[in-house]
Amino acid sequence: MDRRPPGVATSVVNMRTSTFGRTVVVPLSLVALALTGFSAPAIAIQSMLVLLAVGALVSSCLR
């Protein structure tokens, strides 16, 4: 029998999901930056910044 108050299990699942989302987004962005390299043209760097901003917005919306 579950003795937890209603909503406790749901909040734990949501917390795990948001933590998992952050854990996935950060390494992917680091890998993308490593693939572009530091000698990439300014346009590529700007497009990567836009993609990182979109990824941050999506991950914050999924929380």
Domain boundaries in the chain? 8-61
DSSP state of 35: H
CA distance 46 to 18: 27
Evaluate whether 53 touches 8 at the Cβ level (below 8 Å).
Answer: no
What are the start-end ranges of the H helices in 1-63?
8-36, 42-61
What are the tokens at 6? 């209603």
Whether the pLDDT of residue 55 is over 70: the answer is yes
pLDDT at residue number 3: 58
Whether the pLDDT of residue 58 is over 80: the answer is yes
Confidence of residue 13 (pLDDT cuts 50, 70, 90): very low
What are the tokens at 51? 């993609």
Quick one: what percent of the chain has pLDDT higher than 90?
A: 0
Compute the average pLDDT of residues 27-45: 64
